[in-house]
Amino acid sequence: MKSSTTLLITCCTVFLAQLGMSIYLSALPEIARDLTADASQVSWGLAVYLIGMALPMLFWGSLGQRIGRKPVLLAALGIYGVGNLALPLGQTLESFLFFRLIQGVGASGISVMARVLIRDSFRGDLLAKALSWISISFVVALGIGQYLGSIIQVALGWPMIFYLLGGVSLLMAVVVARLTFPVLAAENTLSSAWTSYWHILGHRAFLLPALVGGLGYGVIVAFNTAAPLILQGPFSWSAVEYGLLGWPISAAYFLGAVAVNRFVLRTGQRQLMTAGVGLVLAGSAVMLLGSIAGTSIALLFWLPYCFAVFGQSLNYPISLSLANEGSPVGGAYAMALSGFIHQLMAAIIGGIASLIASQQAWPLSLLCTLLAVGALLCVVLAPGRRTT
């Protein structure tokens, strides 16, 4: 399989997996009404999805190292597709959350294998450049997904959101099944998967860049968890209006990912990552100041977030690349472990955001600011890495 084909397949699969995070958000109040549940309870669906993504990531990584990338990716696409198709059939909050968990398990395998396939084909700054395409797919799914979901909801009802996503996922599995994956040479790995993971985790050159990416990712997760209640509450946005917010968010992340793709070979990874984290902090801080001031202007809430998203789009692919370079163990393990760390952090942060979710903006803004401060500290403490 050519490198260009690898990029196309990984971008498409990541796009599908990340749609599961955002495509239903505009329908959250309607889902809550149909399930006779509180909207804040249904908002736990995102945190449960992220838990489902986090828990099996190390298993997916070790399985991909043992039996190969293709069968693992096919299994993950199958689980994800079936989980989406089954979700609307449930009539209770418990069944909704259960199938969100199943969706997350499938998305976990998709995410791990996409990163591993990219890592198999690229190294160094070229790895960061390739991962920027994954970032583009990620944020387009987060942003466009909101708008797409709102259109499907209005036209066909919220269950069709999941039916369509499940059907396309199974179709993608058929496409992957027809591809020939390359046979990889043996790499520097330890005999036990868990020994390899612990060995990697003990290296600051891996751990700190991984934490930088995870904390920035947490800002996006927190916003997606709590923002619907804020913007559709005191700001009185409709589901379609909230869906339209996906466009500027997608534009911000797209521009940042393109900047990485264009400038990383000239500027270097560490400088771009530092600039990105600085923008995440600046955007979050402005959100906090605006919410403390009690302004009723929604622009002062979502526009600074777009700047934070731009910063995270600079940070995320580079943090993944630096973490992979800092790993003392080869193979799929480093990418799986970094993905596990990110999803575990996202699940915890999503849970916290659900607990503090209210119609006031300042708790969310404060959480985002604290996460950005933590990311900046990790950047300062991270050992220097070569950028060539």
Q: Let me know: does 321 contact 269? Beta carbons within 8 Å.
A: yes
Sequential pLDDT tens for the chain (388 residues): 677 788 888 899 989 998 888 788 878 888 888 888 887 788 788 888 888 888 898 889 888 888 888 899 999 999 999 999 999 988 888 898 999 999 999 999 998 898 888 888 777 777 878 888 887 787 778 667 778 888 998 899 889 999 999 999 999 999 988 887 766 655 555 567 788 888 898 899 999 999 999 999 999 989 988 888 888 777 778 777 877 887 888 888 889 888 888 888 788 888 999 999 999 999 999 999 988 887 677 888 889 999 999 999 899 889 988 998 888 886 678 888 888 898 788 888 988 988 887 778 889 999 999 999 999 999 999 886 544 3
- Looking at residue 205, its pLDDT comes to 92
Write down the residue that tokens 């930088």 correspond to.
212
Report the alpha-carbon distance of residue 338 to residue 333 in Å, rounded: 9
Report the alpha-carbon distance of residue 303 to residue 44 in Å, rounded: 25
CATH superfamily of 3-180+192-381: MFS general substrate transporter like domains (1.20.1250.20)
Maximum Cα interatomic distance, the chain, rounded to a whole number of Å: 59
Enumerate the domain spans of the chain.
3-180+192-381
Buried b (16+ CB within 10 A) or exposed e, 191-230: eebeebbebbeebebbbbbbbbbbbbbbbbbbbbbbbbbb
pLDDT tens digits, 318-355: 998 899 888 888 667 888 888 889 878 888 898 898 88
Helix (H) or strand (E) holding 253: helix 246-267
- Looking at residue 388, its pLDDT comes to 38
User: How far is residue 299 CA from its own chain's centroid?
Assistant: 24
Helices (H) and strands (E) in the chain — how many of each? Answer: 17, 0
pLDDT tens digits, 110-156: 988 988 888 887 777 778 788 888 877 877 786 677 788 889 988 99
Report the alpha-carbon distance of residue 49 to residue 386 in Å, rounded: 36
- Looking at residue 84, its pLDDT comes to 94
Q: Let me know: does 109 contact 75? Beta carbons within 8 Å.
A: yes
> Which one-letter amino acid corresponds to residue 274?
T
- Looking at residue 31, its pLDDT comes to 87
